Chains A and B, each alone.
Chain A
């Protein structure tokens, strides 16, 4: 059978990204032909400004070389503008007569700069700022002429002006509005930007309406405004907006309004014809930022590949960008109105301005100038419609206000970092490496950077920094990612959707779940399989099939893998209490198996490090102690202080309480590790303030705190309630943990989950609904009922032991 023919008109970023996505999922399906009006292969349009400024060359910004097209068997026609689509014969015809037949046609014609309809707009020296040709014209002009006028004080205009000034021209920016970038900035920020650009030598004419361009010998000579003023101009760059390029589609009778109208599958009114990018109008919106365009491309590719999955439902965009070295961020309704409140921080000398617009306790808009590190955080809350009532008093000071992330020396301004400074302390990635990868490998998203450089790919605490570097390297091309994203590349469903379907359909094993939800890969990947396995066993305890092969090695081997492939063994000591007999056994085992290190852990256990995998079952048998689950997404330890039994300050028997809790929740799997602590008095020696559930004994009972974390980012636990009896401590803690087990995304710690749902939500379920609380606690106890100790099981059962037995030749 011969292949289907796919023709793409437009050889720009959105279109070629669609082809890349298509080739990834269905490489053999089509014979592909691409027409591009420009004489270049696909290049990174966003980086035209650095080329103009002389920081990069055209070759640096090519995304797909001609070899790439050849390698994938794509016929590439550059410098050929398609002028006609014959929908009856299914044929496209270019200016020079080249034709190509199609079974599917993809329109990615992009947009054109809007040229003001004023007399003289066709003079030589009057251009837009859109493609390599425009940049060449500007560079040539800068060598021969002096006066440049840029019409349009938006991002593009300012970048053009900056580049021309660097090339030695005398540049004036003409803008119709009262301040610059009025679509992204409010007046204060707009004026700050203007001041800083004036310091660099740029001039501004604001609130000016262009009336006419005056020429001499066919070339532009001056610009005249409606108020009669005239300024000299040897070069006029129009940067007053873009227009979707729809002529071709319109002439072919394809329905267009502002853009080419498409549905959620990126299909036009002709079902054989798809469209993506700046040329489309989707739900009456056109887009100009790269992130939404790429989202469209991804959806379109799945439909071209006949997978029929994925819908594009529009994007909420924010702008995080860098204009001539100044970081800016804006999102939502940043001007506000009568029913909104504002929180403002303004340091004119320091060059920092931050404004949050709030309505009904929710962020509805934001402008940040100079310091944009918290832009993504604000944007996430804006998009999720999260209530900020609880954090209002320190909201303005940012996510890391009082408790900084660790691992990058307290840096929170990427711009202030030199290339050799470390961004990612986990993987040792420097700023220069990230910048280089973004430029050379054509990266656009946080995910791209994570995959390629590993920066922010481990603990994630440097995510904000990496996003800033992306924003400053890509300029206007960067838009933070949506939070409600699919679980992984194997599905389009979110964690929440997957959980719901597992519950509604009573899915009991992984193949069944993948089959029902149309998983894209035959057996998932290392990120979705463990998540699915957890969702199955936590939703249907005692019924769902726990698949060891879908668990990370630590949970499969019930020990913690170390860098040299050996394992560590941590036996359980309930409440951190041990006996001389246990200690003797541990000492004997350490001697017998020549265990290289014996260490006391932070959770009040003893860790035997460097055990060979095949020794594990023997070590467990000799120890004859239960597993401490020090390796799992599971209950870890309940740390305790001595408490009233011995301590002269103790008000409660914290040790006994800790032992009761640890016994009650033994063998419990969870979305991530779960740590508890019980202190016997407010001196809090067990550090209850940084635990998932922290309990503090006071004279009249017990205080419960939840959502603390001592790891990557120190998070202080929040007060949940005060109770009187041991039974209540068990019930309230258990109900909280079960709510987390049932609702958090896999790999969410309690703090992340609470951040998303809000403390009020937790209180409503645990404190206000007594029946619901008891039911949660019952469900937790039911799921733990009769669960065996994993070490004992492996010591006793040959089949379970096989994991640990090597084959010797």
Chain B
């Protein structure tokens, strides 16, 4: 769950990016954040990622007040999130596999777990056969799917996508949002920042509009979202084809995130 309570942000140059914002996003929601350039959308995301500090107000992520969070604990907070950027931010000299694996390696994952998990995630985003390709050899849509795979690989409970369709054609944009919808159905909270109103209207998701740093409209969560199962049941697992099931790392989301959550909540004992 993400909660903004009376959050304002004024940059050192005097720009008021957010003004007394109050937003609550429940676990498992899919939310579009819309607004014109300079409306405060990016600042909203930066505050969630703890790249910026609010000038006033309080922010809660998964029940933890991140406003006064110590710097050394921020990496552990970020491990519970996956970020998708408009410009993909893929490393050209690395293969698709290594770009995705990079996110696991830098948090100290074991090589065996990396290999297994990355292949599984690439299969999930439909890029299994492109594992050894370089980003430059892929289309814009494919590159964004690699970026999405990298965001997903550490099994985050929240995906933040900053203008994920900004650099790809409309058809691919639809596919990317569709893919995010599928991920959302597994219980992952999704926040998509976009200024493409047409795309937003095609999907029946919650839409929050920001203008001049203030929330000017919020459609609220569609009622059916509340019924979305957060965890995969044993029955659902049984329906997964055997060849795919074998490749799913036998690590649950809770297990993957346990270390990160412990580090955030347990204080000094879990520090690096």
Please say whether chains A and B are actual partners in one complex.
Answer: no
